[in-house]
Structure 1
Amino acid sequence: MDVSNKGFSYDFNNERRGIALLIHNEVFDKFSGYKDRPGDSGDFIRMQEIFTKLGFEVDAKRNLTGRKIFDTIQTVSQSKSHEKSDCFVCVIASHGEEMQIETKNNVIIKEHVIVGTDGQCVKTRDIVEMFNEDYCEGLKDKPKFFFIQACRTSNTTVLGMDSGHILTITERKQPPGGVDDDEEMHVDSKITDNVDANYISTNKDNLDTRHMSTADTYLSRRQLVHQVTDVECPEDTLLMFASLSNNFAVRNSSSGGWLLTSLYSQIKEHIETGKIGSTEFTQILNGALKEMTTKNFKPSDTTSRLYGAFSPGCFTHCLSRDVLFLEKQYR
């Protein structure tokens, strides 16, 4: 393969590699309804290391509220540095859910959301949208990568319909320069199940969920209604999730999330062997997925009831050319 042929690969000869935005939530407010995510500190360190080695300007954030997640991402999307960059990377590690949301027009939609430390959420769709060419012209025709270490479960995956509650979701409806006020949305369902902190499996690999009711309650209310929730993937964008839709993400309380540990090891191996500049990036990601399938999850007696609700990761993309991380400033 001729790696210099721009007809087959994106231009990675710009002045800068680009920004790698890392948002890692490990400690959640007590009133948020979400448990902490032990093990994420290792992911946070490794993501900084690996993207620094790839030549990125790493912007690392920890323990952000829903509003702060939104504001941080909007600020980064408006950075002028994108104009001189090869690409953009965003890593988000937090709690996540797929929620049925009732809009003001009484229309029910299903969205994947990222949860802030205060329990407030941001739509994953809105996060991705902030970097498309309509809002971030500096990244037009350049690859954008999003790696999401978060659950993709909903009440229909796990429990049955709950009575519902009001949840504030930060939405984006305007181009840069104007941000909507928080809007109250009615959520028809709420996951009240958690394996994460109350039940620890024998090898410390835990489903990355929130607060736990009894297993008997789970079994009596479980409804296997499989409705896949897709996050829109704009042009020149790649989205990688820690699990399939309707599934839990798995995180080791010592070593970190399955997706991010596999991503780290695969990129590191290609850097150390000198193959990073000649291996098309989606092949490296396929290697990370393959590595995830070799991991062994050993749930406890209680969490084994949830065994069928987790999966290895997946990615989808609308990249139009190959991605080759040509040597720039590896350290």
Structure 2
Amino acid sequence: MATHTYIGKVQGRTRSKEDLEKKFSSILKSASEKFKQSVSSHQHEYECDKNYRGLAIIISNESFKRSQPRPYCDDELKRMQETFGKHLRFTVVTFKDLTAQQINWVVDIACEQTQFHRNSDCFAFIIGSHGNENPRPVNSLPPTRVYYRDHCLYGVDEDTVTTKSIIEKVAGVVELQDKPKMFFIQACRSKMIPDEVCSEHGHEILVLNIVKNSLNQTNKTTSSNSLSSSASKPTDNDTVGNMSKDQDTAEFSFKKALNMTKKMFGYNKNKPKEIIRIVDPPCADDCLVVYSTASEKNSFGRERVGGWMLYSLNAAITKQIKIIECSKINCIDITCVLNDMTHYVSKYFETKSSDSTHPNGMEGRKVPVVFEHCFTKEMYFYL
């Protein structure tokens, strides 16, 4: 299992694409094959008879250019290395504090490992960072009634990468066709342009602002977002239960974004009062996409634990490993993992109602794990 974490900037020098390529080359040359290749027991299962489980890219960003840090980054990395390296036996490549450009480089280089993918069962991409649902540029005048948003992930330079672009690149790799590709996204999905009225259960809302600038110009507006808040500890003897209440951190706070947006954009009297706002779904064939929160909502993490969803993913996999050790079962069902993960988040995590740092309306909320998939077969990790 690879445990070394590659940092995006060392001694004042930002790592180049060539540096990242060398990192991949070094890890893949020493990649360990699976203990045994298992033939799927049913025709409706994904094949799992290759030499390698697959490549797992793990990225966790802690220190940002202006926004507050994610202080639990190292804990997050450690748990994900354990989850995908030790437990699930992926070939793990781990990164910390990458810029948006470096994230794109990592994805591009990972997609170029065609020989490795050809001999692998699947692929995994895991990232923890700040995030937003950013509006696409509006090119028509007057604006149309359909208004698209894309989920974006922040690099430490606070430039953004769309989740959709990452998924499309991986889904386009020929050697990964008909193989499961998993994406675990620990980041906020808050709207970049917060509106005063929105629907908690859908995407048809009253819009009071219109985007006048391009997506890149809009991204700069969110660079100084404040990112602090806290949540209550669970009442359990688990590791989470022993953590201090003050160690929880919201991965995005929309108060400053709202104020800046109003100043920058104002109101447009000529635009339609109602627009259908759509988050363009990035899911592709044979892909599983897991988000740490619902659309338009904040995501949370805790010091000494990590992002809530990623911590719960680790707990769910660990539970399945213990079940295997105590029974004759020799595989992990990804469906069971997802069920256990969502159960764990809903049971043990809730925003702290008495904390005055929470924006109005966030007190006492639970944060749902949301996932979507286009798997065409059942998926098992044979161990």
The TM-score range, normalised by the shorter chain, is: 0.7 to 0.9
Tell me the residue number matched to 1:246: 296
CA displacement 1:257-298 (0-9 Å, x = unmatched): 110000000101111221774342122111101111112321
Structure 2 counterpart of 1:36, from 69, 77, 88: 69
Shift of 1:149: 0.1
CA RMSD of aligned residues (A): 3.3
CA distance in 2, matches of 1:60, 1:216: 37
The structure with more radius of gyration: 2
How much does 1:214 deviate? 11
Distance 1:89 1:288 in 2: 17
Give aligned pairs, total: 299
Mapped partners of 2:214, 2:150: distance in 1: 15
From 14, 20, 25, give the equivalent of 2:61: 25
Q: Give, in whole Å, the separation in 2 of the partners of 1:255 and 1:306.
A: 25
Which residue identity is paired with 1:119? E
Q: Aligned partners of 1:164, 1:192: CA distance in 2, in Å?
A: 20
The answer as to whether partners of 1:112 and 1:231 remain within 8 angstroms in 2 is no
8 Å Cα contact 2:253/2:298 also seen in 1: no
Candidates 282, 291, 303, aligned match of 2:335: 282
Q: Secondary structure at 1:152's aligned position in 2?
A: coil
> 1:189: Cα distance to partner?
7.5
Contact 2:312 2:341 in 1 (8 A): yes
**What CA distance in whole angstroms lies between the structure 1 residues aligned with 2:341 and 2:177?**
27
Tell me, what secondary structure is at the counterpart of 2:345? helix
| Aligned-partner residue type, residue 247 of structure 1 | K
Change (3 A) 1:187 1:5: same
Aligned identity (percent) is 27
Correspondence for 1:208: 251
* Farther-moved stretch of structure 1 (143-152 vs 47-56): 47-56
Residue aligned with 2:331, SS: coil
- Cα distance per residue 1:100-123 (max 9 Å; x no partner): 121667885311111111011111
Offset, 1:187: 5.9
Secondary structure of the 1:59 match is strand
Equivalent of 1:113 in 133, 141, 152: 152
| 1:297 corresponding residue in structure 2 | 351
Q: Secondary structure at the match of 1:305?
A: coil
Of residues 126, 135, 141 in structure 1, which corresponds to 2:165?
A: 126
Deviates more, 1:225-234 or 1:142-151: 225-234
CA-to-aligned-CA distance 1:212-261 (integer Å, 9 cap, x gap):
5499999xx9xxx9945243211100000000101001111331111000
Point out where structure 2 has 5 or more consecutive residues left out of the alignment: 1-37, 197-207, 233-244, 267-274
Alpha carbons 1:161, 1:189 under 8 Å: kept: no
1:114/1:155 CA distance change after superposition, 3 Å: closer
Distance 1:165 1:50, change over 3 A: same
> C-alpha separation between the residues in 2 aligned to 1:137 and 1:105?
36
Query: What is the TM-score of this pair, normalised by structure 1?
Result: 0.79
User: What CA distance in whole angstroms lies between the structure 2 residues aligned with 1:74 and 1:210?
Assistant: 31
* 1:282-327 deviations in Å (ceiling 9; x for gaps): 2211110111111232141230514178622111000011111012
Of 96-105 and 209-218, more deviation after overlay is shown by 209-218
Measure the CA separation in 2 of the matches of 1:105 and 1:123.
22
Aligned AA (1:57): T
